[in-house]
Amino acid sequence: MTLKMYRPGPDGLEPNPVQVETWRSRLRSRRWKPAALSNPEMPPTSTRMAVAFWLGLAAFTFVTLIGGYLLNIFGTIR
């Protein structure tokens, strides 16, 4: 028995009531009711378009680095 689970009371040791809380409920205030988040100015980007962008950026970076070292733009590695 620990005092965390059983607290002393007038009739001896009494079990502490367990409150089930998630991390979200601990972060949220009971008085605060946030509005729904919506962005009417810009439609969401499709997953296919986002993946294509990041793959294209990765390919461009790779080609730039390899081309720079082949043309000796970045200098020699020491």
End-to-end CA distance of the chain: 64
Alpha helices in the chain (DSSP H): 23-27, 47-70
* Number of Cβ within a 10 Å radius of residue 69: 13
Q: Give the pLDDT band (50/70/90) at residue 1.
A: very low
pLDDT tens digit string along 32-74? 666 777 777 888 889 999 999 999 999 999 999 999 888 888 7
Q: Which residue has the higher pLDDT, 23 or 72?
A: 72
What tokens appear for 35 in the block? 């509005």
pTM of this structure: 0.45
